[in-house]
Amino acid sequence: MEQQDLNKRLLLALALSFFVFVGYSYLFPPQQQVAQTEQNVTNKPAPQAAASDTAAKSTPTSMDKAQNAPVTASGGKSLATITSKTFKMTIDEFGRIAQYELLEKKYENEEGHNLQILGAQEVKPLEIRFSDTKLNDEAFKTPYTNSGTATVDVTTSAQTLTLTQQLSSLTVTKKITVNPDGSYTVDVTTSAPAPYFITPGHRPMADHSMYMLVRGALIKGADDIITTIKDGDAKGDETFKNAKIASAFDRYVATMFYDFKKGMNVSILKVGDGDPLIFVEGGQNLHLGGYIGPKEYNILKNINPELTDAIEFGWFTFLSKPFFKVLLWIHGLIGNWGWAIILFTLLVKLVLFPLSYKGMMSMQKLKDLAPKMKELKAKYKDDPAKLNAQMMEMYKKNGANPMGGCLPMLLQIPVFFALYRVLLNADELQGAMWIPGWIDNLAGADPYYILPVLMGVTMWFQQKITPNNFTDPLQEKIFQWFPVIMAGMFIIMPFPSGLVLYWVVNNIFTIGQQYVINKAYAKHKAAAIAAHKKGKDS
């Protein structure tokens, strides 16, 4: 296959995969997510499913099954409200976190209201389910009492809330110590042994964007292996012994338990259409660390460095995670996420430059050989084996590598998608300003569509200066319209401006690279011609 054809097909594959990876999920959002959104909007009480369908599977220690608990509608009685500079947490009469509200301006919705991250009809964090059916039923009819104040301020220091539930045969005490950063500890004691499970709650329902995002549960096991169970993929029989982290996460936020010393016995309950619901086996004296709020790297790192493993980037986490750390490092030096993205893009181009240089030089040589290739194709059109042999001989004689331009292009595909995941999922970009008055939120779309237009223009110009040798008219037409299609898609869909910024800057640097290589090749070609002339004259 001719090198130019191969490169074009690779780029077509990249374009098609981009449309499938991003465009399809935007145009055809998952029905399950839409249904959940509608349920929250209508705020109808959730029906109680049969215990056999919704029972949490027992932990590896052969505990009995936890029974399904009723879901109370929002707006029920509140025992306490805990506030800090960045959040407001409401504790309901069953000792659960009924709602968690983010108070920072960058999290406000389009109507200017604070973001509430917990689904109105979903299972709440700190809910306890007893293995004994009768005891469990009684527990969800018996409210807790609060021995302290109903208004707790944790702005400057941690505060402890003590809740007590008096059942007919058992007293349950929950001590919840909340820190200013949203982390907390929960100590559960029972007056007598009574097998139970406690949950960090259903994953937050804070983001309803139609991108192909990863949402669900993340478990970091005792062996440090991270397992992600996406919404729709839960089987209901997953168990993890001595797990370190159990997180239920959305795009930017999560609710989680952690225990890095003893570990937790974790079971996954299948709810809805296959969504995972995390349960942790309890005991007469249970101590757990917890966190609820944004998956911001520095917040999680300050609580415990291992908690940063709860930041999930999907399929490309193996690349996205180191990319994210490099971006964090650059941002720490310059303090602006927009310029950090630009410098990161430059760094990627510098690292890949040696490969890009070889590939682009090979493409230049193949462009010069294009007329001879056509002659060979015409001459040996009925003899493919002979044609390939002649072409290989020509490549060897002229020092051209037909595969030389493929590797840089192949490397760009995982790099792009890995960075796409970072820029789509990093909470740090929410409210991050690049240029005041223009890009005030790198997690949101460009309000003036300047970046999408620049992306289309730079793609078109890049095509104009890149050596081309189309043999298929359809390919040529597709490539001529490709910049327009991409710019149009980025205008119609609200892609994060941080992602579009990366693409624009990458195009600009590629144009610069192409100019440098074009000049270098022109000098190389002139020197080769001069040497050839000199050899003839002598």
Find the Cα–Cα–Cα–Cα dihedral 295, 297, 299, 305, rounded to 10°. Answer: 110
| Separation between Cα atoms, residue 203 and residue 463, nearest integer Å | 45
DSSP 429: G
Phi, psi dihedral angles at 450 (to 5 degrees): -70, -45
For Cα atoms 38, 40, 46, give the angle at the middle one, nearest 5 degrees. Answer: 105
Backbone φ and ψ for 484, nearest 5 degrees, come out as -65, -45
pTM given for the model: 0.81
DSSP one-letter string for 248-313: EE-SSEEEEEE-SSS-EEEEEEEETTTEEEEEEE--SEEEEEEEEEE--HHHHHHH-GGGGGG---
Could you tell me the residue ranges of all domains in the chain? 76-312, 326-525
* Tens-level pLDDT at each residue, the chain (538 residues): 444 444 445 455 555 555 554 554 444 444 443 333 333 333 333 333 333 333 334 443 333 444 455 555 445 689 999 999 999 999 999 999 999 999 999 999 878 899 999 998 999 999 999 999 999 999 999 999 999 999 999 999 999 999 999 999 999 999 999 999 999 999 999 999 999 999 999 999 998 877 778 899 999 999 999 999 999 999 999 999 999 999 999 999 999 999 999 999 999 999 989 999 999 999 999 999 999 999 999 999 999 999 999 998 877 888 999 999 999 999 999 999 999 999 999 998 888 888 777 777 777 777 777 778 878 888 888 888 888 888 888 877 777 766 655 656 677 778 888 888 898 899 999 999 999 999 999 999 999 999 999 999 998 898 887 766 555 666 667 777 878 888 888 888 778 899 899 999 999 998 998 888 888 778 877 776 777 677 666 6
160: burial class by Cβ within 10 Å (0-12, 13-18, 19+)?
middle
Q: How many Å apart are CA 328 and CA 333, to the nearest integer?
A: 9
pLDDT of residue 328: 96
Rounded to the nearest 5°, which phi and psi values hold at 476? -60, -40
Domain covering 76-312 in this structure, CATH number: 2.70.98.90
Q: Is 80 exposed, middle or buried (0-12, 13-18, 19+ CB in 10 A)?
A: buried
Return the exposure string of 335-371: e unless at least 16 CB atoms fall within 10 Å of the residue's CB, then b: ebbbbbbbbbbeebbeebbebbebbbbbbbbbbebbe
Q: How far apart are CA 161 and CA 172, in angstroms?
A: 14
* CA–CA distances in Å: residue 43 to residues 40, 75, 89, 414, 527: 5, 11, 20, 41, 76
**What 8-state DSSP symbol labels residue 104?**
S
Whole-number Å distance between alpha carbons of 68 and 111 = 36
Q: Around Cβ 159, how many Cβ atoms within 10 Å? A: 19
The one-character DSSP state at 70 is P
Token pair 């001595």: residue: 242
